[in-house]
Amino acid sequence: MNIDNAKSQMRKGMLEYCILLILHRAPAYATDIIQQLEEARLIIVEGTLYPLLTRLKNDGLLSYQWQESTQGPPRKYYALTPEGETFLSAMDQAWEELDNTVRLLKNPQNLLQ
């Protein structure tokens, strides 16, 4: 198996969670989301982000608001809805469970404790 393909699949699986984490802190414009993901070393292109934002909005997890920009046309800022906050809490719990599982499997002596 190609390691780059495996890494790509892992990133895709956690991308939604990472976007929700960013928007939990504050509403953000798509370019800001991409920049924050890149700063966290998760590289993503607009062609991947926009369909995901649209799906999350259609699922009721995100809302958006147009805001005027001094650098061109108005920008669409995304924010979590109350349903999005609830979903993020559930994702936090799921992430903790996965993290614990991986840690236990990497360190089998922890299973005996």
Q: What is the mean pLDDT of each run of 10 residues along the chain (113 residues)?
A: 83 91 97 94 89 96 94 93 97 94 85 60
Which region, left, alpha or beta, applies to residue 75 given φ > 0 means left and ψ of -120 to 50 means alpha? beta
Whether the Cβ atoms of residue 57 and residue 79 lie closer than 8 Å to each other: no
Looking at residue 94, what is its pLDDT? 94
Structure tokens at 46: 């607009």
**pLDDT for position 51:** 94
Q: pTM to 2 decimals?
A: 0.86
29 DSSP β-pair partners: 77
Delineate the domains of the chain, giving CATH numbers in brackets. 3-112 (1.10.10.10)
